[in-house]
Amino acid sequence: MIRVEIDGNSGFCAGVIRAIGTAEKYLGAHPGKLCSLGAIVHNEEELSRLHSMGLVTVDSLEEAASVGSGDDPVLIRAHGEPPKVYRQAEEMGLRLIDCTCPVVLRLQKAIKDAYYRVSPEHGSILIFGKIGHPEVLGLIGQVPSGVDVVQDLAQTIDLVSSGRLRTDSPVELFSQTTMSPVEYGRVSSYLESVLDPGVLVVHDSICSQVAGRHRLLSEFAASHDVVVFVAGSTSSNGKVLFDLCKRTNPRSYHINSVSQLSAGWFPPECSVGVCGATSTPKWLLEDVARAIENLQ
């Protein structure tokens, strides 16, 4: 008999819960369309559910204006946006529902403050994050210039060896809120070893909820014969956490939906752990667990 356990620590982070709850509340009181500037969550199944309620994902404020009735607000998701988006919305007369995660808001402010500290000394702001990620774009947009982004240690080494990052000027290092604490530690340790003494300031900017999940997820993955990790194909956090599962337990499988399950993954009498990203809804984890149990 296959034994299935859902990871109690998986599922939406607080910022995503707040954003989706806000969208559901608005749509419940105002049936029709609510535009989200960018996908409110990087999970195709949850986006489909919200779309059925009237949530429309748009890529720009111009698109939101053309889709909405004129009075409909535009939702800013938990990832946040740069100040220019707020200025543009005001110029266009668009009302915003701002669901930027409080953790991201604090990080945005910290980067602005750091910029004004280091720029008089020709210093640098360095962000450890996924290049092109919405949160990272919002962070870069907080300041006029002088921000570099690295995704891993190799890119950090290249940044230093090429001379693009000065070793004798102030450097303030930040991380995207959902990145791997282990890899962030590698990046910061490397910089400490090559930069002049006293020039590096490392900020603890990974969300504490996300950071704690890494250790707990490793323990969860190690405690089962097979791991099924559920996350959207575009989820940055999902890739990081699945890689962690795969390193811990080679019999880990990444799926987006129930339809991708394969009976051949599960030997008789095995223990299966079902887990997911900060963008994975609990209802989807429960659907996957039931589907695995019904394979027997």
| CB 236 within 8 Å of CB 42 | yes
One of 135, 183, 192, 219 is an active-site residue; which one? 135
Residue 147 one-letter amino acid = V
In the beta sheet, which residues pair with residue 277? none
DSSP annotation string for 222-249: HTSSEEEEE--TT-HHHHHHHHHHHHH-
Give catalytic status of residue 135 as yes or no. yes
The conformation of residue 121, written as its DSSP 8-state character, comes to G
Biggest distance spanned by C-alpha atoms of the chain = 66
Bridge-based pairing state of the strands 271-276 and 226-230: parallel
In the beta sheet, which residues pair with residue 271? 3
| CB 122 within 8 Å of CB 169 | yes
Distance, CA of 41 to CA of 290 (rounded, Å): 23
| CB 7 within 8 Å of CB 275 | yes
| Distance set, CA 213 to CA 12, 51, 102, 216, 276 (Å) | 12, 29, 19, 5, 11
Distance, CA of 182 to CA of 200 (rounded, Å): 18
Nearest alpha-carbon partner for 104 in 126, 71, 87, 129: 129
| CB 107 within 8 Å of CB 139 | yes
Contacts of 160 by beta carbon, 8 Å cutoff, 6+ apart: 167, 191, 194
Please identify every residue annotated as catalytic.
135
